[in-house]
Structure 1
Amino acid sequence: MKISDRIAHSRPLATTAMHGRAEALRHAGERVIDFSIAISHFPAPPPVLDAVSTAIERERTLPYTEVSGALKVRAALRAKLASENRVEAAVDEIIVTNGCKQAYYQALYAMTDPGDRIAVFRPHWPAYLATAELLGLEVVLADLPDTLDADTLAAFGAVKVLVLNNPHNPTGKVFTRRELETVRDWALAKGVHVIVDESYEHLVFDGEHITLAALCDWRALGVVTLFSASQSYAMMGWRVGFALAPAHLVQAMQTLQGPITAAAPHLSQVAAVAAFATGTPHALLADYRARRDLVVRHVADVPWIVMQAPASGPYLWGDVRALTTDTVGFAERLLEEERVALMPGDALGRPGYIRIGYISDDEATLMEGVRRIVAFGARLAGTR
């Protein structure tokens, strides 16, 4: 049977592929330390578990909700946007999705046509490019600068949509108010729409997270803001997120979502309301900060890696160009020889870098994995 041309040349996401390889080794009885993705060692917040248990006990039959999400769920998310993000919205400007990936796919599908150009900063979350490829879009890439300015944005040329990740995966950059105002002014002047992925809004160690939509007339500008419960609330497997967008765009996203998945699961919607109501996860943040600092201190004197403490997020981003720019080969050999999985920077658009998800397992396992990486790098350096 012939596979369609539109999928035949597409590849699985590198992030999920590496995690899958690590899982396959585990299933074969191997002990693998998996840093390829970020899976929190925290459980979901107690209010989430309580809310879901109560829903099961009281409702028994859990019905389909509206495709865009139950009205009371969207009303609760509307209140969250007003209190936390300083954005006023109506319930018909919110759509609940099966995670942030679905929200991004549907937004991009509804905002573009095949052949349109979108702008993405490098390094990038791999799904940004994979989705654009599936939709037949042209992606214009630019290196993410330390400070975003008008010249950086002007270098994109004519594009229809800018994809912005704030806080940023994998570098941990948190965009300042001035940088976001620069984005706003450029987008307004050039007629560019913006999709802002704010999945890590509550995972900020240094600086302040600001929502772009709070700094502009987001409806007129065409700003779509994506949110997720996965990382901020240790709810990776619950697969729930939501998007804020102008009402006519939400309607278009709903038209696409209906025949694909219909509504997000009823219980996941209940869980999302409970999670977002808890606000900033202070205990989780303190734990992550301690782990971040522990790893950064450990590699501070390693001559072949440069790793700064990220301002946000569940990942560490290491520059290993002093050792190699073939980080795919580095990652392959590391998994083979040390049974440690990590993400090569090539998958995120930057060869010569590695990404480490540092929030899984216990602290002892984390540091064992880091020591294996350092030892492997030392061996590799010694053979050259």
Structure 2
Amino acid sequence: MTIKISNRIAHSPPLATTAMHARADALRRAGKPVIDLSIAISHFAAPEPVAAAVEAAVARREAMPYADVIGEPAVRAALADKLRRENGVEAGVDEIIVTNGAKQAYYQALYALTDPGDTIAVFRPYWPAYLATARLLGLNVVLADLPDTLNEAALDALGPLRVLVINNPHNPSGKVYGRAELELLRDWSARRGVCVICDESYEHLVFEGRHLSLAALGGWRDPGVVTLFSASQSYAMMGWRVGFALAPAPLVQAMQSLQGPVTAAVPHLSQVAAQAAFGSGAPHALLRDYRARRDAVVARCAALPWMRLPAPPAGPYLWADVRRLTHDTLAFAESLLEQALVAVMPGEALGLHGHIRLGYIQDDAATLMEGIERIAAFGDGCAVRAVS
């Protein structure tokens, strides 16, 4: 007997981001000297206050019962204080839900806000999970190119929507939305009755400019702004799988109703870690290191005639335009991994041909630059063969 897989999942491939990372890991386990730039995994450890808080909790041998599904009251109170102190947002504990990372918060928010057949909009290039989740929920997705500056014409062109998804800072371009853009978005969404899911997972990874939360401008409860936060990138805590969402209280309750039967609460120790992380402030040493790495890669690639690589104002990724060499970056990435043993994310996986995404924050700096040298040599070779 052949087991039947549901239509919901049968034609849903694994996320391209995790699939490429898995391939790189498999080659490494096979003894190949692969350098993986396809994903952003920080070489930093979690902040010291996180380690201290978790070690203290374990040392006390304190009871670790099932936590509240929505998040422990003390943790949500600390997160409300973080929102007030760092983001300029006044929120009650009933407007905060602690989740197993930003992915879960996004899934639950989208699930609670939409019904099958509803339409959402996502700007490209995009984080692949935005689309994968929408397809699992049976939603229609409108895709539009991310404008250099958000404007009313670009928003109007999206057509009738239930939800608009943005992230600020943006993955993979590193764009940081300015106050005028966010005010325009707030006013437009209020007029149109469009809910906004704003992913602010990279809030602390800003090199130029200043991150401003959409919710800080007011009016976020109606028609509804959901703000997603994650410890993964801002605090180098990828494996802790913890984040939280800020949303109007009725939506938080709906998200909790979904989280309960799926995963229940975030593990107790991860909540201890989250409280310590989100209370520790901006990661200044991490930012200095990332800025130096960013600048080193951009400087090296400036001499490549087939690549345009601007220095992003934020984020753990570089978004390289290689259209002078090829528009088929899926084939480019496959050949690069096979021949040069470097993994990158092809632009097709994020909605745009002719680009590649480079995660530049893992391994040591020498390994990073070795990966860039391999990419440069591979691309130069492709360029020579194209001419001859």
Q: TM-score, normalised by structure 2?
A: 0.98
Equivalence for 2:253: 251
Match of 1:330 among 329, 332, 335: 332
Equivalence for 2:366: 364
Instruction: Give me the whole-angstrom Cα distance separating, in 2, the residues matched to 1:306 and 1:30.
Output: 29
Equivalence for 1:320: 322
Instruction: Give me the whole-angstrom Cα distance separating, in 1, the residues matched to 2:299 and 2:103.
Output: 33
Match of 1:102 among 93, 101, 104: 104
Q: Cα distance, 1:63 vs. partner? A: 1.2
Moved over 3 A (4+): none
Instruction: Give me the whole-angstrom Cα distance separating, in 2, the residues matched to 1:19 and 1:292.
Output: 21
Letter aligned with residue 177 of structure 2: F
Equivalence for 1:307: 309
Instruction: Give me the whole-angstrom Cα distance separating, in 1, the residues matched to 2:352 and 2:126.
Output: 9
Instruction: Give me the whole-angstrom Cα distance separating, in 2, the residues matched to 1:237 and 1:65.
Output: 20
Is 2:70 the partner of 1:71? no
Equivalence for 1:228: 230
Instruction: Give me the whole-angstrom Cα distance separating, in 2, the residues matched to 1:319 and 1:16.
Output: 22
Aligned residues: 384
Q: Cα distance, 1:60 vs. partner? A: 3.5
Instruction: Give me the whole-angstrom Cα distance separating, in 1, the residues matched to 2:113 and 2:267.
Output: 25
Equivalence for 1:40: 42
Instruction: Give me the whole-angstrom Cα distance separating, in 2, the residues matched to 1:191 and 1:60.
Output: 47
Contact residue 190 and residue 222 of structure 2 kept, 8 A:
no
Match of 2:54 among 48, 52, 55: 52
Letter aligned with residue 17 of structure 1: A
Instruction: Give me the whole-angstrom Cα distance separating, in 1, the residues matched to 2:363 and 2:193.
Output: 46
Match of 1:141 among 130, 140, 143: 143
Q: Cα distance, 1:31 vs. partner? A: 1.2
Letter aligned with residue 67 of structure 1: V
Letter aligned with residue 165 of structure 1: N
Instruction: Give me the whole-angstrom Cα distance separating, in 2, the residues matched to 1:202 and 1:97.
Output: 19
Equivalence for 2:169: 167
Q: Cα distance, 1:265 vs. partner? A: 0.7
Is 2:215 the partner of 1:213? yes
Equivalence for 1:178: 180
Instruction: Give me the whole-angstrom Cα distance separating, in 2, the residues matched to 1:220 and 1:349.
Output: 31
Cα distance per residue 1:232-267 (max 9 Å; x no partner): 111000000000001110010000000110000100
Letter aligned with residue 150 of structure 1: E
Equivalence for 2:88: 86
Q: Cα distance, 1:220 vs. partner? A: 1.5
Gapped runs of 5+ residues in structure 1? Answer: none
> Secondary structure, in 3 states, of the residue corresponding to 2:256?
helix
> Secondary structure, in 3 states, of the residue corresponding to 2:233?
coil
Q: Cα distance, 1:126 vs. partner? A: 0.3
Equivalence for 2:28: 26
Letter aligned with residue 52 of structure 1: V
Matches within 5 A, 1:107-146: 107-146=109-148
Letter aligned with residue 102 of structure 1: Q
When the two chains are superposed, the root-mean-square deviation of aligned CA atoms in Å is: 0.6
Equivalence for 2:384: 382
Cα distance per residue 1:269-299 (max 9 Å; x no partner): 0001101111110000000000000000000
Q: Cα distance, 1:102 vs. partner? A: 0.2
Letter aligned with residue 41 of structure 1: H
Q: Cα distance, 1:221 vs. partner? A: 2.4
Letter aligned with residue 64 of structure 2: L
Match of 1:339 among 335, 338, 341: 341
Task: State the percentage of identical aligned residues.
Answer: 70
Letter aligned with residue 378 of structure 1: D
Letter aligned with residue 165 of structure 2: V
Letter aligned with residue 333 of structure 1: S
Letter aligned with residue 53 of structure 1: E
Q: Cα distance, 1:107 vs. partner? A: 0.2
Instruction: Give me the whole-angstrom Cα distance separating, in 1, the residues matched to 2:277 and 2:223.
Output: 29
Instruction: Give me the whole-angstrom Cα distance separating, in 2, the residues matched to 1:61 and 1:326.
Output: 54
Instruction: Give me the whole-angstrom Cα distance separating, in 1, the residues matched to 2:27 and 2:12.
Output: 25
Q: Cα distance, 1:323 vs. partner? A: 0.2
